[in-house]
Amino acid sequence: MAKGRLYFDHNATAPLLAAAKSAMCDAMDLPGNPSSVHAEGRKARAMIGKAREAVARLCDVPPAQVIFCSGATEAANHVLTPDFRMGRSPVRVSRLYVSAVEHPAILSGGRFAQDQVTVLPVDAEGRLDLKALQEALAGHDQTSGQAMLALQLANNETGVIQPVRQAAELVKAHHGLMVVDAVQGAGRLALSLADLGADFLILSGHKIGGPKGIGALVCAGEILMPAPLLRGGGQEKGHRGGTENLICIAGFGAAANAAREAHDNVGRIAALRDRLEAGLRELAPDVILHGEAVDRLANTSFFSLPGLKAETAQIAFDMEGVAVSAGAACSSGKIGLSHVLAAMGADADLGAIRISLGPEHTENDVEWFLEAFKAINTRRLVRKGAAEAA
């Protein structure tokens, strides 16, 4: 076994890029408040503008349509609201529709009351049931307000890519709003707000190699906007109050620039993932690979081993020097049943291990992982044989 540690958990958080760290260090040297009119303030404001342009290019929108916030969870709570305005006129959204495999930040419904949220089913591979969406939209009471669909671009656990464009077409046909959680897709899939048919995109800095604690709500325009979640001194054109987090915004911008070029690595990372999964099958023919029959993120593998709890396997991998996840890392380290597996009709009690690769990984890293897996699987088979003999 190679010495050191192997980090295979990019979907939880990607390591901070050198370019992002450098941009953050530059921002630390700026004393001015971005809202100040003196030279120091203008310099800080210019740095935010540069980062805003980078995030806008990542999503193929004008910079004015990017609102910085503290992360994807805040962005979700900002946009998932019944209260919108078109210019000075109020616009009511009466119901939020979400898929059953969404991130908890979406499933919680944001500022909608729980009885205003409808959870839609997915198929066995974890993709939104478009027929169920069509039926739900057809039955929506337009007189009470507009419908809103919030749908992830790619699942954070399985990596399964959702039929976002088809869903958006259904939503638009019923005069609704489309929110796309693009947190896992950024830097791994082509990301154009217009091509996706979205009204809003949600982004997170630390998923693409930026710092933790920064994200963005990206809007299709500047006319129809959600009511502010945080009110204050008019920052972000009044959409998000509070002095801007200059240091993290600078790092986010640098990471967004890198994410636009990350597609060059997709084929190589997919080959590593495929080699890893082939190795899993060779060592454990009974391994269950979730979502393998449909399009997935090139960097993600989500698998279960019969007779081995995911949390037990996660600890075993950690002891072997390999960092992996037992599902999503979004509950302060708490490991519980995967709502994603449950929605797919899989064995949620057993759980699954998530492998998520990054651009720094190599074939040697995959072999290191498989060596660790071999040791863990050997112990599983010994326990299984002992149980059958008893």
Q: Which of 25, 69, 248, 330 is catalytic?
A: 330
CA–CA gap between residue 259 and residue 248 (Å, rounded): 16
Q: What is the residue whose two structure tokens read 């020097």?
A: 321
| Helix (H) or strand (E) run with residue 218 in it | strand 215-219
Q: For residue 23, what are the contacts with CB-CB under 8 A and spacing of at least 6?
A: 51, 250, 251, 253, 254
DSSP at 158 = T
Decide if 348 contacts 338 (C-beta within 8 A): yes
Residue among 52, 67, 55 nearest 219 (CA): 67
- The whole-angstrom distance between residue 322's C-alpha and the CA centroid of its chain comes to 22
DSSP at 163 = -
CA–CA gap between residue 57 and residue 192 (Å, rounded): 9
Residue type, 322: V
Helix 363-389 vs helix 266-283: angle between axes, to the nearest 10 degrees? Answer: 20
* 248 a catalytic residue: no
- Pull the structure tokens for residue 267: 């084929």
Decide if 294 contacts 344 (C-beta within 8 A): no
DSSP at 67 = E
CA–CA gap between residue 11 and residue 352 (Å, rounded): 14
Helical spans, DSSP H, in the chain:
18-28, 39-59, 72-79, 104-107, 130-138, 164-173, 193-196, 246-260, 266-283, 310-319, 339-343, 363-389
DSSP at 15 = P
First to last CA, the chain: 33
How many other C-beta atoms are found inside a 10 Å radius of the C-beta of residue 38?
9
Helix 310-319 vs helix 363-389: angle between axes, to the nearest 10 degrees? Answer: 130
Q: Which residues are catalytic?
A: 330
